[in-house]
Each structure stands twice: as structure tokens, then as C-alpha cells.
Structure 1
Amino acid sequence: MNDFLFWACVLGPVLLAEGLLARYEVLVYSAGFRAPTSELPEGVPYARGAAADRPPEAYLVYLDGIGKRRVRDTRDGGQLVKALLAAAPELRVLGQVQPYSPLADPLADRPVWAWLRRRVGLLLFLHNVMQIFVAADHRYRPLYNRAVGSQIATQLRLAGYEPDSGIPVVLLSYSGGAQVATGAVGELHTRLRCPLLLITLGGFHNGANDLTKAEHLHQLTSAHDRIERVGTWMFPQRRRLLRGSGWNRARRAGKITVHRLDPATHLGPRSYISPVAQLPGGRSHLDRTTDTVIALIRARHWAKAATDRPMS
């Protein structure tokens, strides 16, 4: 009991402070006091994969879960991005976007957080969790969506994307990255006028964002993913009863397709991106997820090519 009271006294004020500070960046952005950072650290390219001198089949932007703290890191050490690059050289892949910072300011590079990371590492995750709820809050959601959508559009243009080129942009999101991906749709369409394909992996989002400008959303999920189920239960906009939510309008329009990746879990050694957990055929969970993502992108490319082919 004493331990419980101790942690309650410690974490209570921390959570309150995080709840207040999480709104800081989006308010600073909306007031025009600071613009999102667009420069990357030395040696970090704006995109990897297909050469910049010829158009790729698609640009893929990877929006990681709450473990994202800096330009380089991801929850799996970059294994999913590396696997996608190795198996689909026709893609240009961006992994540097900071989905939990409207100002594109890497959390781990801030002096105060660098100090805290060495002492209270949990705070880094609490910060990003709070940012998800700010992005989902109806009071801040339009501002957050515009800020991060602008950040993604800027990074795409620096990576060589030309507006009105017709080259599709794929937003591949993990966990809470889905809240950012669904929110960025409107701003990306406005700035780049690009075809948008969304792929969520264990997506944790509130279902309120308008998906009208997205071509399609592929929901990669598993019956063993408890965190995604919590999100579905927590946010009423994900339930069929609220027919007017962005998620349910997209569902009725036939824009959402569910793909089962059982028995993958959200986290841990049996997660969607585990290189260790194996399926009956011998493939790892990482291999299956990589193959599924690439197959969905290529299927879109082939379907579009068939539609554009002139009738003989």
C-alpha cells in the first residue's frame, strides 16, 4: 500500500503536468510563434529507396507508435522500414516524421528530456501518449491535424514529391500513429493533391477524422491485439452506433478493408513486427506484415494501371 501511495504521489503530478504541456506545441504552432522544423540531422536522407532521378511507384511515410522519440529510432530498431526497402525497391520511404510533435521537434533531442530519459524513461512514453489524446481532442484536433499534415507534406516535397504528379502517397501507421495518419489526410490533399492510401497496423485512433479525401484504408489487425480493441472500446466514434463519424462514413462508402494478422499481438515477442515469432509456414510475423503491406501497395498500382490502360 505504501508503494502504491508513493507512486500515486509521484505519477499524479507528472500526469497532470504532461496533460498541460502536451497542448503547448499545438498552441504555439497555431499562434504562429514557431514553424515546424524541416531540416534533418547531418547524414539523414529525406527518403530512402527508389532513386530520386526517376519517379517511384509510391512514396511511403511510416508513422510509428508512441516509442518514436527522435528522427532515427523506431520501436523495432527500424526493422520494418528496412524490410520494406529490401523487398520493394520501387518505393521511396520516409521514416523521419515526428508524429507526436506538431513542431517536428524530436523529443529525445531536447536537453530537458535527455536528462529525464536517463532517470525517468517512462516519461518519454507518457509524453507521446498524451499527444495522442491531444490529437484526438475535438478542441485541438483541427490544429494538430494541420500541423502534422503540414510537416508530412514538407518532408515529402523535400524528398522529391511533386504536387499533382499523381504518384500515390502511402501513410503506414503503427498504433497511435493511426490517429496522426487519419488526421493528416485533409491537409496532405490540400497541399499536394495526391492520391492517398492509408494502412494502419494495430491502429489506435478515435475514428473522428474525415477520410473523404483518402482513396482507401486497409486495417491490419489481430484478434490478439488488446490495445487496438481498447481504442475501439474507448472512442465511441469507432462504434457503428455513431453513423456520422468519419470512420463510419468511410466504412459505409466501402473505403475500409480489414486484414487479419492473427495471432500477432500489439507488442512483445509475438507482435506484428517480430522477426522471431514464426507462422506455421516458417515465415516470421515481420515477413508477413512486410509482404502484406507491399502486396496492398502493388495491388493498388496494378489496379490503377489496368484502369488507365486504353481499350483496344
Structure 2
Amino acid sequence: MTQALIFNEITLSPVTYQNSLWIRATELARALGYSDTRKITHLYERNADEFTPEMTQVIEIADVPEMGTLENLRRKARIFSLRGCHLVAMFARTPVAKAFRRWVLDVLDKLDAEQHAASPSPTPDDFTGTISLTPSSVADRKPLRALVGSWAKLSNAPFDACWNQLKAAFNLANIKELPQEWIPDALAWVQAKIDALPKALPPQPERLPLYRNGCFYPPHRNWRHVPGPQEAALLELWQDWTRREAGLRQEFMAMLRELDARRGDLFSYAVSDLGRNADTMFSPQCLLDSLFQSRTEAEQRFRQALEDASLHLRLSLNMAVALGR
């Protein structure tokens, strides 16, 4: 019977096939942290072109615990050589995958050393002992604890909550169970959590008093803002603009009313004249429409001119604020 191998307190019972050690897919799944054996099958099927017959085979094997030979074959099962196990672990994305790959390489190195020290044609059955990981000490875990502290500070989360996430990711009931060989992976895992945190926004410049809800917000309401000479001149004009605009509108409306009064007399005369000259090309309705259409168009243009002037003043003042002049 082949000596059992131990990885992370998981006992693997390899079978001897073609004078080599092979691991069942079910045991490989447990070692890599998968609860479903089909995960190993899926990894193999997605990358089958990278496996050679020396890495994986489907054989008939009896479902007998810790069986190390191929007698009394009963069912088909996929098995992986140690190099095949290493390749499967390369595709795995579980927290223990990196540690498992190093462990497999250690086993292969151990087997090579045993074979060179034994007879000219040794077999894997000559391998004795178990491969286990080195327990970590408090000093070994000190950099990891410091990095978790940084993670907690940057994420504004309790240290214990971050620490428990780390233990859960590596299936640890107590951090003392973390082997030395896993510390680089644990550091990388915590660093990935830090890198995934939202980046803090750079310091924003002081908001200039330009627009509020689409309209200009006078800078004199911001007591910390000191206007430049051009801005001060434009601001004085801005503060006077409301009064000027109101006066212009009043003058324009008064002019329209006076025009309507004088035009009324002219219209009455024109209507009586049209009655005396029936062959004229103008009609009273045509004359009436033309007069009032011209009045409406003139009023629209005047209002648009006021809005354009107001917009021009706002833009000029905003530019002076932005340039600090």
C-alpha cells in the first residue's frame, strides 16, 4: 500500500499506476478546496490540450478506501499524476492553489531524492513519510497583521472584521493555523482587497462663484472671494444691469403704446382711403395683419437683444472670475 500524503491536514491516498503516484480527481478536488468534484473535470476539459497522457488517465478502479493497487477494478475514474496535479492547480483559483502547487513540487523533489538514493530502478513505493507545512509564528505573521491593519484603516472597517475575512478565505479557524508557506499568498490576498477599494478623490479646488442652477451667482456673496480689477468693474455693471434692463423695457413698452396710438389714426385713414380706391392691392385685413406682425416681431427682437446683452455680461464676468482678473 502506498504511503499516504498529507496536504493542509488533508490525507491523500495515491494509487500506483505505470510505476508512478497518481491522485484521484475526488481527492484532488478536496485538496484544492472544491466541494464539487466536477470542478476538477471542468478545469481539465477547458484546458485538455495542455495535458499529456503522462499527466492524466481514466482507469477502472475499485472504490476501496486507501487502496494503492489496481486489483479488482470496478469503476472508471480520472486520475492525475503529480505533474498533472500541478497543472490542474495552475488553472485553479482557490485560496490554497498556490500553496498546493508548491507542495506538489516539494513532493516531486522528495521523490527524486529518494529515487537517487535507492536502487537503480526505484519505484514510488519507496517514498516514506508525510509532507506537511511549517506552522507560522507570531513574528512570521507580523507583516500580515500590519497589512490587515492598513486595510481596515483604508476601508473604515473594524480590524476584527477584516481579520475574520482573511481567516475565512483560507479556511482557518485560528490564524495560528496559517502555515509559513501561505503567508505570501495571504499578503497578496489582503493587498488585492486594498487595491480594490474605491480611490479617494483628489482635493477639489475651491468652487468659483460662477453659476448656480444655470444663472450667475454674484461673487460678492462669497466673502472669501476677492475680485480683481476687471472683475470688480464688470461686477459693478452686473449689479446695475437689473435696473437698466427694467428701464429699457419700460421705455420700449411706452414707445410701443405711443406707436399704437399714432398708428390707430393712420389705420383709420388708410381704411377710408381703401374704400375710395377699391382697386388697390391692399385690403384692411392685410394691412392690419402686417402692422401687428411687425410690432410683435420688433418686440421679440428687442427682448432677444436684452437677453443677449445679459448673457454677454454674465460670460464676461465669469471669465474674469475664472482668470482671477
TM-score, with structure 1 as normaliser = 0.22
The structure in which a higher percent of residues are helix is 2
TM-score, normalised with respect to structure 2: 0.21
